[in-house]
Amino acid sequence: MLASSARRLLTLASCCSPRIHPPLASAPRPEADSTASERRRVVAALKRFDQLEAMSSRGDPEGCSCALEELRRLREDGTAFALGPNAHNRAMRVCASSPGTVETLFAEAAAAGVQDDASLQVLATCRLEAEDFAGAAAALSELLGPLLVQPAHGAARRRVPARTAKVALSVLGACRDASVCGDECRGAARQWAALGEGGQWAPPAPPPSPERTLALLKPDCVASGAAGEVEALIAEHGFEVVRRRRWRM
C-alpha cells in the first residue's frame, strides 16, 4: 500500500514539474548583417587606398585612376559614405597631383554634408601645391572657423590639432613668401592670430642654434696625405665643415 502510494506521488510530481526549455538563439537581424558587411567592404577599400597612396608617392600615375575605380565601386554599392568622408579623403590624398580631381571629390563630400577637418586639410594642401594661394587660404579659413566658436556653458575652446597647425603654417608662410595679400590670405591670417591670442596654439620652438668646434690638423698629418681621411671621419660623426684655413705658426 505504501509502495503504491509512493509510486503515485512520484508520477504526480514528474507530471507537474515545469519543463525547462533551453533559451532560443535570437535570429540575426538582416539590417545588422547588411551594415556590418558594408563596413567590412569599406574598411577593405580604405586599406587599398593606403596602398595606392604609397604608389602615388613613388610617382606611379596609375594610383589615382585605381583609386577612382575603387570609389566608383563603392558608389555602385551605395557604401561610398558608409564611414563618413574617409573613402573620399583617402582618394583625395591619392590624387593629390591632380587638383581638378581633388576639387571634384571634395565637392562630392561637401554635397553629402560629410566633409571634415581631414577633407579641408587635403584640399588646402593640394591647392597650395598648385600655387592657388587664395584657394588654399579659403580652405584654411573654413578649417579654422569652427575653432573660434565659443563653446556653450563656458567650456574651454578646442586647441588647434597638430595637422591643422601644420597646414596653417604652410599656407600662411607661402602667402607671405609669395607676397600674396588677398582677402582670403588676410582673413586666414587674422583667424590664426586670434587663435594664438586665445592660447589655442603655441608657436613652434625655434631650432637650436648650431654649436661650432675647431679641429686642428698637425703638419705631419697634412704632409702624409691623411687630411682627407680625417675630414671624412669628421663628417661621419655628424659634423659639417663650414670653413677651412691653412697657416704657418
pLDDT in tens, 35-52: 777 778 888 888 888 888
C-beta atoms surrounding 30 within 10 Å: 8
Distance of CA 17 to the CA centre of its chain: 64
DSSP string, 220-243: HHHHTT-HHHHHHHHHHTT-----
Predicted confidence (pLDDT) at residue 168 exceeds the cutoff of 90 = yes
C-beta atoms surrounding 27 within 10 Å: 6
Instruction: Give residue 114's pLDDT.
Output: 94
What burial letters (b/e) apply to 214-240, b meaning 16+ CB within 10 Å? eeeeeeeeeeeeeeeeeeeeeeeeeee
Is the distance from CB of 49 to CB of 67 less than 8 angstroms?
A: yes
Average pLDDT (170-180) is 89
Q: What is the value of pTM for the model shown?
A: 0.67
> What's the mean pLDDT when you consider all of the chain?
82
